Structure 1
Amino acid sequence: MLKPIAWVLTAVLAAVSSMAAAQVYPSKPIKLIVPQAPGGATDVFARYLAQQLGAVWNQPVVVDNRAGAAGVIGTDAVAKAAPDGYTLLFTYAGSQAVNQSLYSKLPFDSVKDFATVTPVATTPFFLVVASGSPITDFHDLIARAKAQPGPVTYATSGNGSINQLLSESLNIEAGTKIVHIPYKAISAALMDVASGRVDNAFAAVPSALPLLKGGKLRAIAVSSSKRNSSLPDVPTIAEMGYPQFDVRPWWGVLAPAGTPKAIIDKVNTDVAKILRTPEAQRFFHDQGADVFVTSPSDFQQILESDVIKWAKVVKASGARLD
């Protein structure tokens, strides 16, 4: 009888310890690691959330950009961090759910080594060309690619990025051979599209909007099944003959596996309160994104499902990073 009693006592003590940790959390600055370069959608969303959480918690929430290896470097840093809630990961589906299939061996497991905390937003990708590009619209791009296999090019934020997988998905769907030109960051990729050095690119709405509004880029399609409210005149790829094309990646917060449930629940609750405010909803709407609130367990199911979904896309595209 002693062993079952010992197990119960251990469980109770663990629960009490977790609750106590949450009651005083956070009592010092929090590091929010972003595994992408500054300037992209992940960085923009992370900095807004960090500012809001810092005000709520009365503690600094410091954004730490650790770009490299398609997000692996920053993600690995969080996987190996102490599971105490003071090192969190702000990432997106294109890194967390895709890398598991792009690499034959990762220093972490994208699902098992993390605790899902909360999603924050979803946003589609615009397919963009230079404002002065001779490519008039989506159908013209496909026609040119089919007539001249090879010379038509697309830019991405790097090999294995979701930008590449979107373009390769389009190649598969449309039967084209648009050529990949990888960059180290989406900002550099978009500048070369704007200058005409590269023909087109898929870019998350927040990354593309400044150049679209500034007249340097022109959107010819959007990746979601519904049009985006920031540019409602831009048609979806689905409505132009590819009905299965519907991509709206999530952005969200994860923690190292083993982080106390009470801390995870607190972060989830506080982020949800922020996202439900008119100010936050206006911010994300202005970025062309939709706020996304759900529980840690639901977020876990979404991550696991996305790993399976993107594995099929990676296999079909032939993309590999090792």
Structure 2
Amino acid sequence: MFRQVVRQVFSQVFSHVRTFALAAIAAASLLGAGSAQAAFPERPITLIVPWAAGGGTDAVARQIANMLERDLKQPVNVVNRTGGSGVVGHQAIATAAPDGYTFGLITLEINLMHWAGLTDLTFEKYTPLALVNQDPAAIHVKADAPYKNVKELFAHIKANPNKVVASGTGQGGSWHVALAGLMQADGVSPGSIRWVPSTGAATALTDLAAGGVDFVACSMPEAEALIKAGRIRSLVFFSPTRAPNFPDVPTTEEATGHKVHKGVWRGFAAPKGLPKEIAAQYETAIKKAWDSAEFKEFMNRRGFDMIYLDSAKFGEFMKVDNEDNGKALKSLGLAK
């Protein structure tokens, strides 16, 4: 009888100990899972840039990468994946594993390439993180041009179809599309000018100053040297607010009544399907870097305009931008 009672007691004690041990193991597992999740990142991160080293997009990416390294306590390695007019790098970002260890700095071209038939890749293939920069377009003419404002230039184009010559980028490039959007909004056919493709704004501006073209569409920073030299002047700035360095140049709304705010932009994005908690961590870190005096000084020194949109607003921005670019490229006969 005594032995039976002892066995029962030991059996009950063992049962309680076993239950407690299982509970402790389960709790430890949950804590371990939480710790692993909170530990992101645990290894180096790759930041893909779809454009060549040394350019503006590369410079912005490297500046942010340096600042994220300090915040995330892991190396952020910038990798330039060039080729295919931006397709190669944008594709590499979209097709990477959505685990947070690969993200990229995407650009306006993601909303141009598929319209041109270069790829089926669109902005919808990404998890937007933050828009950090947009350089609005502007229209520039020779200093002695007869047009006092952009309305007079557009009236001259209407009166002289296919005679006015413009440049600024390649056919269907960023500045060409921005110009087409404003012309279309103001009732001027984008196809009524002769667009001379150029290798970049610098080449086009040199042609403008020499009298080889009638006007150029490009950013204000790109034209700054010739403006300050008194060789060219700007008629309109494609932004909701005037440029701080050029306060005398009216915005599109002031000059035409149209809210056409177009230009080149850069924003951070990750592959579609990135876990929400990791996306939020990136968004917080990027905003912290963007808000810093260090980043502001870098952007001002480079002449880049600062704009910030969070993940949700960046996604909405890309949707509208994509639709606008489609309309512009169709008006130019360049959409596939």
Q: Please give the range of the TM-score, normalised by the shorter of the 2 chains.
A: 0.7 to 0.9
Query: Does residue 175 in structure 1 map to residue 191 in structure 2?
Result: no
Choose which of 80, 103, 112 in structure 2 pairs with 1:64. 80
Partners of 2:170 and 2:197 within 8 A in 1: yes
Report matched runs for 1:1-322 at 5 Å.
Answer: 20=36, 23-25=39-41, 27-28=43-44, 30-35=46-51, 38-40=54-56, 42-56=57-71, 57=73, 59-62=75-78, 64=80, 66-69=82-85, 71-92=86-107, 94-103=108-117, 106-111=119-124, 113-131=125-143, 137-172=149-184, 173-175=186-188, 177-213=192-228, 217-247=232-262, 250-285=265-300, 287=303, 289-294=305-310, 296-320=311-335, 322=336
Structure 1 pair 300/168, CA: closer, same or farther in 2 (3 Å)?
closer
Alpha-carbon distance in structure 2 between the residues aligned to 1:152 and 1:18? 64
Partners of 2:45 and 2:102 within 8 A in 1: no
Q: Corresponding residue for 2:14? A: none
Shift of 1:215: 5.3
Alpha-carbon distance in structure 1 between the residues aligned to 2:232 and 2:207? 10
* Higher mean C-alpha deviation, range 246-255 or range 118-127: 246-255
Q: What is the percent sequence identity of the aligned residues?
A: 26
Q: Give a deviation string over 1:187-222, Cα, whole Å, max 9, x none.
A: 444443344433322223444445544656432210
Alpha-carbon distance in structure 1 between the residues aligned to 2:188 and 2:228? 31
Shift of 1:272: 0.3
SS at match of 1:275: helix
> Could you state the TM-score of these two structures normalised by the residue count of structure 2?
0.74
Structure 1 pair 279/133, CA: closer, same or farther in 2 (3 Å)?
farther
What letter corresponds to residue 46 of structure 2 in structure 1? Answer: I
What letter corresponds to residue 125 of structure 1 in structure 2? Answer: A
SS at match of 2:63: helix
SS at match of 1:124: strand
Q: Give a deviation string over 1:155-195, Cα, whole Å, max 9, x none.
A: 23323322111222233325252211223444444443344
What letter corresponds to residue 154 of structure 1 in structure 2? Answer: A
Partners of 1:35 and 1:73 within 8 A in 2: no
SS at match of 1:220: strand
What letter corresponds to residue 82 of structure 2 in structure 1? Answer: R
What letter corresponds to residue 148 of structure 1 in structure 2? Answer: N
SS at match of 1:219: strand
Partners of 1:127 and 1:222 within 8 A in 2: yes
Structure 1 pair 132/83, CA: closer, same or farther in 2 (3 Å)?
farther
Q: Which consecutive residues of structure 1, in runs of 5 or more, have no partner in the other structure?
A: 1-12
SS at match of 1:314: helix
Q: CA RMSD in A?
A: 3.5
Count of residue correspondences: 303
Q: Which consecutive residues of structure 2, in runs of 5 or more, have no partner in the other structure?
A: 1-28
Alpha-carbon distance in structure 2 between the residues aligned to 1:217 and 1:290? 25
Structure 1 pair 264/43, CA: closer, same or farther in 2 (3 Å)?
same
> Could you state the TM-score of these two structures normalised by the residue count of structure 1?
0.77
- Return the index of the structure with the highest Cα Rg: 2
What letter corresponds to residue 105 of structure 2 in structure 1? Answer: F
What letter corresponds to residue 229 of structure 1 in structure 2? Answer: P
Partners of 2:111 and 2:122 within 8 A in 1: no
Partners of 1:37 and 1:67 within 8 A in 2: no
